Structures are given as C-alpha cells and as structure tokens.
Structure 1
Amino acid sequence: MNQHTLLTHYLSNLEVELYMGDYNRCGSDWRDLDYTPDYSKFYWICEGEGWLKIGEQEYYPVPGQLVLMPEGVTQSYSSISDQPFLKYWCHFSAKVGGINLFQIVKFPHFCTIDQPEQINTIFRDILMYLKSGEVYGHMMAKSKLMELISQYVMRMDIEQIAYLNVPAIEKITAVLAYIDSHIEENISVQELAQLAYMHPNYFIRFFKQQIGVPPIHYITGKKIDKAKELLSCTPSTVTIIAEHLGFSDLYYFSRQFKKHTGLTPTEYRKLKTGVAL
C-alpha cells in the first residue's frame, strides 16, 4: 500500500473540532516565545509582515500564504515592523482515532494560494457561522474548517508529507495490504494481530488509532466494496457473491450491504446495470 492510499485512510476518518477564529490586525506587541499549544492553528495572511517559528524552522509569511501551526509543536511569533499582520485565523483540533493527526503525519507548514478569494470566502463563512447564534452554526463552521483543510492538502505534493511513527506506519501498511489481498477470506483479528506482533486487544486499539475504525468494521467495508464491484461487473448471483466473500449468512450479508450503501444488493445491481439477477 502506497503513501497516497494510507493518507486517504487518515483523511477519510478525520475528526475535527473548531475552537475559535477571527479576522484582525496584530498589534505591535503581538509576541510569544517558545510555547507549545494543545490546539492547531491556521493563519491566512492578508497584509503585513511578521515572524513565526514552528519547531526549529523560522518563517516570514507574506500575503497569500496559508500557514499551518500544528498542536504539540513548540512555536514562537512576533511582529517585526510597523506593518504587522492583518490575518484570518482559527484554532482547531484534527484527530484520527482520537490521536492528533499531526503526531502521525507531518505536513509542510505553509502553502501559497493562487486563488486567494477561495480562502477568504471559507474564512468569512467560518466566522459568520461561529457568530450566527444558530443551532446549526457550529456544525456549519466545522464543515468549512474541513473544506479549509482539504484546500490545504490539495496543494501539497505527496513527497512533502512525512510519516512520524515509521514502525507503526510499516505495521499498519502491512496489515492493510494483507486485508486487501485476502478480502475473499474470513479474516480474523487474531491473524492480523499476529501479523503486527501484537496482542489482539492492543491491536484493536492500535488499528482504530491509525485508521479511525475498528478492524472488523474496516474489513466489512472492504468486503462490501468488493461486493459492489462484483455486482456491477459479473453475472454471479447475490448468494454466490456473498459466499465468495465469506458471508455464510445471506441475510447478514444483505443487511451489512444495505447498512453501507443504503440499498439491498439486488437494488444496487439494478441501479448500476439496469438488470436484476
């Protein structure tokens, strides 16, 4: 399994929380040194000058740059002239299986935006929803935060992204590859745990932390994906497909299929092919 596929797993199971945000000009006293926040930040620089230090790297962002300052990393910032930053900003968390995303994956700390109005609009919407007072306001603001993260990731070169816990990445990559190559079999947690050299109970926690869902849930989802492919591309009956994928109980297979797709296997095939077999 390549890095692109693994990153897709992480981002597909991303859970975000938005704490606060605003649009303002920094004062001449805007300064803090060597602090480690328990939240992540985005700065969208609109005007002005300033200095940032993230970990051991120093930056002087310019207008049109979106800056990511991840939680758990030592940071500093300061005004450096009589033209301090005018910026949008927000504080948030991003987790996969309860683990800080930025403890798993290291992204570049900034990107230059070639269509700045897109980012302006997202931040304006975030602030509008945060301040709306509507019951759906925070939910909509979180959806806009997800859009902002998506825009950031879209501008990343996959080669710029690093994985921070290489032994864990190697283990989960081997496990996911094994599932893919044995999806037509009855895969047990015990055999996956043996593959990762872990006790099954610990392995379940490890898998959920890395992928965002328990292993059985993930395996079932992959089997349903394979069933969708077979229903669309082969004349095999639903019963044969279920048995082929290790479902001995046709009713259970149909129930799981509908749970994942909203349709029965027969309804799905008819929708995809126009033929009910």
Structure 2
Amino acid sequence: MGGSPLQTDSFLRFHHAGDVTVKPGRRLGPRRIHDYELVYFPKSTRTLYTSAGVTYALDSPFALITRPGETHDYNFDPAIPTRHLFVHFDFVTDGIRQRYPKLLLEGAAPATVADGSLVPQLMKQLLYSFHHRPARWQSMAEMLLLTVMEEMEGSLEPDSGHLDPRAIPPQIANALQYIDTHANETIEVEQLAKMAGWSHEHFTRTFQRHVGHSPKEWMTKRRIGLAAQLLLQRSDSVKQIARAAGFADEYYFHRLFRRMMGMTATEYRRKYGDPRLREMAPPDDWGRFYPLNHIFILRSADKE
C-alpha cells in the first residue's frame, strides 16, 4: 500500500491501525507492546480490560490508551462479537507527549465516551485517512488523533462536567442505544423493560432517575431530533419527514415540533437549512468507506 514519506515536521509515527470485530470469548494478553495504542469501543459490552493490576468493565462506550511496556489484557465479551477501532503510534518529540500527563500515566483509567463526543467520528475519519491516503494524510491524521487525545485528557480532569456513563446501569445504556437506533419505530416501554429484565415500574423509575426524562418523553425527544435532522438533510415534504421519523399523525407532529423546537418545522428548515447538508452521508455510513476487519500497515510513515 503506497503512502507519503514522513514529513520532517511530523510529531507522530503511525505504525498500524484497524477496525475489527473479534469473536465472543476471545482473550488477548497478557501482553506488552513497544508503542502506544489508542483503542475505541463504540458499544456497551461485557468486555473486561486489565491494566496495572486493575480491571475495568467496558460496559459503556470507552476509549483507552495503553503505553509502551505496560502489561495489559482483554477478556472480550463471552456472548457477542466485540467491535473496536485502534491505532498504534509513537511520539516523535516529548513536547507533545507532555500535553497529556493524566492520559499517558501508567495505569490510567479508560476514558468514557459521552453523548456528543467527537471521538466516534474522529476515529472513523482517522481510519478513512489511513485507507485512502489523501494528500497530506499524515498531517490530517496527526490532528485527528491529537483531538481525540485532547478530549480524553479533558474527560480525566476533575470537575470535567461530563456525566460518567459508568454511573448509568448497562440496562439503561442499552435502552438508550436501542431508542436511538429505532427512533422512527413504535417502541413500547414494556418492551424496553423486558429487554432490561426489569419490571415496567422499576425500569421507568430507574430510567427517569438517570436520564432526567421518562422513557416516553425521551423517545419523543429523540424522534423530534430525528425529524429535525431529516428536515435539513432531505428535500422531502414536511409530511414525508414526519412519517419517516415515525409520526403517523401529521398534525400531532406539527404541534409537538413547535412545542419542543420553538418554531414550526417549515420555519426550522428555512432558518437552518443548507443545501450542502443533503450531500452528507448519515454517520453510520462511515464504515462503508474503508474495509472492516482489516489492518492498515503504516510503516511507510515510520521512517526516520
């Protein structure tokens, strides 16, 4: 695979990277690596990660870094395949490394990836750059990786203001993920409660306590959010958008949208619409633009 030589002003060396899904029950390690590895787990799993003698349950989206010579191991989810994105790299100079004292400290805890985080799309863009090698890919990849590390370092700061997903029970995290994935479908609270293995009452109380909304309120909020996104990305009529977002009653949709967004759907599209948004692929389509379960060897960028 071709690529540009390392630029003289580069401050990172990339070795290899990938977006892979491993079979249930696989164990990796204990092992030590000679470089740094950034790993991103996009979904809640029962994977266990151990570093410096401490074991962490990766029961929410997490990003973590292992350091050269640090003993660590993974016990992947025993029941379902586990997807993770990773990149191996080194620092060219100490100046950049010193920007991340908490993140690069041996045994540092995994960083939670909260809602609204930049990490998911930046990691996918990073893999896209490694696969396609556009002009100046090395510089772009460096900026992407450092932006991920900036966010991770910030999440480890005291009083960072981020809600720790580890405080959310995995049953609620899974319900939130299911709602996001099926926002345009009819979802019953009883259905979510059964998926969690809880009673309807216990699920509703726990959901309200951790999310700040009842399950029905949250589902409505996510469906209106989906409709708002579709209004900007599609040229369909408002009626078609309402149906695509799961609203069978157009008039109910209009009333709800105005109450929650402070304006009508037509006014929202007129105020925030941009024709360029219609050319963008949905975020979930990113995986189509580079091969999954493939390792990108980047040693062409490893020359001194």
Q: TM-score range by the shorter chain?
A: 0.3 to 0.5
Please report the TM-score for the alignment, with normalisation by the length of structure 2.
0.42
Rg larger for = 1
